[in-house]
Amino acid sequence: MKEEYLMLSVEEALERVLSPFQPLPPERIPILETLGRVMTEDVFADMDVPPLANTAMDGYAVRAEDTARASRENPVRLRIIDNLTAGRTTQVAVSTGCAIRIMTGVPIPPGADAVVQFEDTDQGGEWVAIFKGVETGTNVRLAGEDVKKGELILPRGTEIRPQEVGMLAALGRKEAWVHRRPRVAILATGDELIEIDAPWSPGKIHNSNSYSIVAQVIRYGGFPLMLGIARDDEGELTSKVREGLGKGADLFLTSGGVSMGDFDIVKKVLAAEGKMGFWRVRIKPGKPLAFGQIGGVLLLGLPGNPVSAMVTFELFARPAILKMQGKTRLEKPIIEAKLMDAVPHKDKRRHYLRVIVERQGSEYKAHLTGDQGSGILLSMVRSQGLAIIPEDVDHLPAGTKVPVMMLDWPEDK
C-alpha cells in the first residue's frame, strides 16, 4: 500500500515517530540553568555533607557525662569558655566542667560530645546552669549524615528538579553535564495567514499556530526557531525550509498544508528536499500527519486546524522533544474521570475531547468545553485535559468513566 494511504493507530504512529529520535549530545552548563534537564554524568559526592559533625540546636556544647545529674532543682553549672557563632570553629577543647556556647550548624568543638539546647539552660552568662542531662550524641548531626563522600548521589538519567539543583550546590558543583535542548524549527503554511500585527482583511486569519506551537516547544524544554509563514508556493516553502535547516534545527514542525486538498505542494517540496511519508492517523482531531526527514532533520507536519495542531503536538511532537532531552517518562499523566456529558455517535477514530476537570472527593468529574470542532481554539483554552474515547465506542452515555490525559491540573496554580 502506498505510504500516503496508510491509516495508522495512535500507537503505530507514535512508534514510527519516536523510533528515529535519540537523546542529544551533552553540554556542561551552570547548575541554575539545569532545571528540567537530564544528567549525562554520574555525580559522586567528593565530600561529606555536612562536612563536619555539628549542632542541630542553638545551645551549649558539653561533655554529656558532666550533665548526667542535672535537673531544674539541682542544675549543673558549667563555665563558658567560648562562643561559636555561624561559620566559626575553635581549637579550644571542652574540658570537664566547661561548655561552649554554640549556634545551629556550627561544628562540635573538640572534647564536646553533646549539645544542651538553650531551653534547658538559664541561657548563661559567664557560667551556664544546665537543667537537664543529655546523652552522648544529643543534638549532634554527624558528618556525612546527609551525603557520604564517594557515594553516587545523582546517577546519569536523573531529571533535575529544584532539590537536585540544591544538592549540586551542596556538593560545591557550579556546573553539570546534561543533554542539550532540542532546537525546534516552526513553520506555518497557508496563503490565508497574516502576521498577528498585520491589518486584517477579508479571507485572512492570524497565524495563531506558530504561537501556540512555540509556547508548547518552550513548555516541554525545546528551543524554538520561529520561521514565520510560508505561502502555498513551492519556491517560498523551499526557501523557508532551507532557512530552518541553516539554523541548526533538530526537529522541524510545520502546520497546515497536509490535508487532502492541498498537500500536494507540501508533499512535492518535502519529497524534493528529503524523504517524507504522509499518513492518516485514526484520531480526531488531527487525522492527516506528515512525517519524514529533510536535510537529515526529522520533520513532523502537523495539521493546520488550531486544535488539531495542538493535540497532535501533544501526542507526537512533545514525546519526541522529551526523548531528545534524554527523558524516559514520555507520557502525560492519565486519570480516570466521569464524563458528565454524553458523546453522540462518533466515527471509528479515537477522539480526544477537550474537558475541564474538577475533583469531587476522591473522584474526578469531566465536562466538555463546548464546541469540539478542530478549529475551536477556545475548547483548548477552557480545558485542562483530553478525554480519550476509544475507536470502538460509538455512543457514550453521560456519566461514563473515561481516561483523561491531563495537560494541566485543576489544582495547579
Options 35-43, 201-209, 336-344, 361-369: segment touching ligand AMP (CB under 6 A): 201-209
Residue type, 336: E
Options 150-158, 167-175, 302-310, 326-334: segment touching Mg ion (CB under 5 A): 302-310
Q: Is 209 in the site for ligand AMP (CB under 6 A)?
A: yes
| H or E element at residue 215 | helix 209-219
Burial of 39 (0-12, 13-18, 19+ CB in 10 A): buried
Q: How far is the CB of 352 from ligand AMP (least distance, A)?
A: 17
Rounded to whole angstroms, the Cα distance separating 363 from 360 reads: 5
DSSP E strands in 85-232: the ranges are 98-102, 114-117, 127-130, 140-141, 152-154, 175-179, 183-189, 193-194, 205-206, 223-230
The candidate with the shortest Cα–Cα distance to 374, out of 291, 299, 314, 287, is 287
Q: How far is the CB of 278 from ligand AMP (least distance, A)?
A: 12
Show the site string, 209-248: x = touches Mg ion by CB under 5 A, - = not: ----------------------------------------
Rounded to whole angstroms, the Cα distance separating 160 from 162 reads: 7
Partner whose binding site includes residue 303, from Mg ion, ligand AMP, none (CB under 5 to 8 Å by kind): ligand AMP
Q: Is 257 in the site for ligand AMP (CB under 6 A)?
A: yes
Show the site string, 179-198: x = touches ligand AMP by CB under 6 A, - = not: ---------x-x-xx-----
Rounded to whole angstroms, the Cα distance separating 37 from 43 reads: 14
Q: How far is the CB of 282 from ligand AMP (least distance, A)?
A: 18
Q: Is 256 in the site for Mg ion (CB under 5 A)?
A: yes
The candidate with the shortest Cα–Cα distance to 59, out of 6, 132, 3, is 132
- The owner of cell 520561529 is 226
Q: Between residue 130 and residue 189, which ones bind Mg ion under the rule CB under 5 A? A: none
The number of residues that bind ligand AMP (CB under 6 A) is: 19
Q: How far is the CB of 212 from ligand AMP (least distance, A)?
A: 8
Cell of 385: 485535559
Rounded to whole angstroms, the Cα distance separating 362 from 234 reads: 55
**Of the candidate residues 305, 369, 379, 383, the single one contacting ligand AMP (CB under 6 A):** 305
* Of 191 and 394, CB closest to ligand AMP: 191
Partner whose binding site includes residue 369, from Mg ion, ligand AMP, none (CB under 5 to 8 Å by kind): none
CB atoms within 10 A of CB 74: 9
* Of 90 and 208, CB closest to ligand AMP: 208
* Of 188 and 366, CB closest to ligand AMP: 188
Cell of 209: 499556530
Q: How far is the CB of 167 from ligand AMP (least distance, A)?
A: 43
Local structure of residue 107 (DSSP, 8 states): B
